[in-house]
């Protein structure tokens, strides 16, 4: 049941921030953008940026760089952000509500069709235009809409049980914001977000800075 590894994971993770910068330059009226400009903006090496962008199939032109519109298309196509993807959000607590409000989704092809919660006080309400339905009808809704992607923001204690139910209803991709490592069948893709990873990075950077100052 070993999941295939995505080899270029760190490159893929950087693509959205490239896209963000490139779209900014497009707005400002640019036609071409060089890897060096992107690199400087993000404190990366230009060679790294060129390598990362190459995974989308695009190659820059010497001296001019990348044609912006083609570059945007290449990145969006590589990420599948140029087509729409129906999704449900399960668990409309604080984190769920924060995610519903996240602007990036619509631009990236994520079509959030409904949210679900067990709390009767929340049911029937809307967050940013997305209605919250009773958790009791989540399976029915998934089957009816053929949504394949679920954003999982339930309490960790409910995570596995909820995931099992969603998968049974037809979900094959879970964006997991709980801290449970879900056990899922082979055909299901899980992306686990872990806040403590970013916090670990921050703590190590703080310590490295403190050390630098001591040695200076």
Q: Which stretch binds a second copy (CB under 8 A): 64-72, 117-125, 157-165, 200-208?
A: 200-208
Q: Which stretch binds a second copy (CB under 8 A): 59-67, 79-87, 130-138, 162-170?
A: 79-87
DSSP per residue, 73-99 = HHHHHHHTTTS-EEEEEE--SHHHHHH
What's the CA gap between 191 and 175, in Å, rounded?
A: 5
Q: Is 215 in the site for a second copy (CB under 8 A)?
A: no
Q: Is 198 in the site for a second copy (CB under 8 A)?
A: yes
- Contact set for a second copy, span 157-196 (CB under 8 A): 172-173, 175, 179, 181, 187, 189, 191, 193-196
**Distances from the Cα of 64 to the Cα of 31, 67, 70, angstroms:** 10, 8, 14
- Contact set for a second copy, span 132-161 (CB under 8 A): 148-149
What's the CA gap between 212 and 144, in Å, rounded?
A: 58
Centre a 10 Å sphere on the Cβ of residue 150 and count the other Cβ atoms it contains: 28
Q: Is 119 in the site for a second copy (CB under 8 A)?
A: no
Relative to beta strand 130-134, strand 126-127 is: antiparallel
User: Which positions lie near a second copy, rule CB under 8 A?
Assistant: 2-4, 6, 9-10, 12-17, 20, 41-43, 78-81, 85, 93-95, 97-99, 101-102, 104-105, 108-110, 148-149, 172-173, 175, 179, 181, 187, 189, 191, 193-209, 212-213
């Amino acid at each position: 049941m070993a999941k295939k590894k995505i080899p270029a994971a760190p490159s893929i993770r950087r693509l959205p921030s490239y896209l963000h910068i490139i779209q900014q330059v497009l707005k400002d009226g640019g036609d071409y953008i060089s890897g060096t400009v992107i690199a400087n903006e993000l404190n990366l090496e230009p060679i790294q940026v060129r390598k990362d962008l190459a995974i989308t199939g695009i190659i820059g032109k010497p001296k001019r760089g990348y044609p912006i519109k083609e570059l945007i298309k290449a990145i969006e196509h590589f990420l599948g952000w140029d087509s729409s993807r129906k999704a449900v959000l399960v668990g409309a607590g604080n984190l769920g509500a924060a995610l519903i409000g996240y602007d990036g989704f619509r631009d990236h092809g994520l079509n959030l069709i409904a949210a679900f919660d067990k709390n009767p006080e929340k049911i029937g309400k809307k967050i940013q235009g997305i209605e919250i339905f009773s958790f009791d009808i989540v399976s029915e809704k998934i089957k009816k809409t053929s949504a394949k992607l679920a954003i999982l923001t339930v309490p960790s204690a409910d995570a596995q049980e909820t995931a099992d139910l969603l998968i049974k209803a037809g979900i094959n991709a879970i964006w997991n914001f709980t801290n449970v490592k879900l056990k899922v069948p082979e055909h299901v893709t899980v992306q686990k977000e872990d806040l403590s990873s970013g916090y670990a990075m921050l703590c190590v950077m703080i310590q490295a800075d403190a050390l630098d100052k001591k040695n200076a």
